[in-house]
Structure 1
Amino acid sequence: MIRRAKENDIPQIIALLRQVLEVHHNLRPDLFRTGSTKYSRQELRDIIANPDKPIFVYVDGTATSQDRILGYAFTAIQRHHGDNIITDITTLYIDDICVDADARGQHVATRLYRHCVDFARANHFHNVTLNVWEGNDAALAFYRAMGMGVQKTCMEQVL
């Protein structure tokens, strides 16, 4: 089952945030710290309360007291209206998809991604976008398999 995140999901979301940070740290230790999380508990409360930043969680629903979260998708609704160069569109930006290491191979990411696309379609958005860090070949292959293509390329020169 996929649903919007609730405040009592925060401890499990933090555990998943730690996992995804380690993936990024292993790819780019020059950019990403280890042993931390992208958001604090308060920041997560604020995001969960923000209707323009839906967090979707995939839960197994077998736990009696609380659903076990197997993965999440952090998203942000981006409205481009009245811009000088961008046409009037609304985009669903997927900030992050994470699947618990113990749940990989169970199509959780596929279901989360498709849920995001369905949400965007139902709300008449123009597109769904995301970023993938160079070197995260598994994520890149996954998103290509989902039908995504390159919109733009971000370049860097490390000094």
Structure 2
Amino acid sequence: MGQTAEPGGTLIRKMTEADYPAADRLLMQLHQLHVDGRPDLYTPLEHLYSFEEFRQLVCDERSICLLAAAGDTVLGLCIAVLKEKSGMCNIPIAYVEAMIVDEPFRKAGVAARLFHAAEAEARAHGARRLDLMVWAFNQNAIDFYQSLGMTMQRMILEKPIE
């Protein structure tokens, strides 16, 4: 994937090791959303990925790591991993691990551009489907992904045992 920009100056590009500080900040925003929404499952962290883990991720040819930026300002990111389901029909998929747009830049089309860029990259790598998991508490994300044509694949139910 080359760099793609639109007239407003937003650029979608592949992440590099140098993007770690900005990516770490955004990934921690996403993690905090999960900590707040499901404190019974998520615990506060200092970093979601160490620098070395991040470096391995962005250098892995099976990863799609995209960043949206306007000049020096990082607006958002999308991280997806290319997989094949074993034990099921071996259909190549791209699994979105993380998608986040910084709060001040939400509702401006950045997430949709990141999503479509990730979809195009996944298609170029032979993926036939884009999968992701979204928590039930995050109705904004559910509505957003459905607006992009995603449909429910399965439900995971839970019941606390007290």
TM-score (structure 2 length as normaliser): 0.86
Pairs within 5 Å for 1:1-159: 1-60=11-70, 62-63=71-72, 68-80=73-85, 83-84=86-87, 86-159=88-161
Q: Does the 8 Å CA contact 2:64/2:118 hold for their aligned counterparts?
A: no
Shift of 1:36: 2.8
Write out per-residue CA displacement over residues 27-75 of structure 1, whole angstroms, 9 at most, x where no aligned residue.
1111112353321222111111111122111111x23xxxx22100011
Q: How many residues align?
A: 151
Percentage of pairs with the same residue: 28
Q: Does the 8 Å CA contact 1:57/1:73 hold for their aligned counterparts?
A: yes
Amino acid at match of 2:78: A
Q: Does the 8 Å CA contact 2:64/2:121 hold for their aligned counterparts?
A: no
TM-score (structure 1 length as normaliser): 0.88
**What secondary structure is seen at the aligned counterpart in 1 of 2:126?**
coil
- Distance in 2 of aligned mates of 1:124 and 1:41: 29
Shift of 1:125: 1.6
Q: Which moved more, 1:149-158 or 1:128-137?
A: 149-158
Amino acid at match of 2:84: R
Q: Which runs of 5+ in 1 are unaligned?
A: none
Amino acid at match of 2:121: F
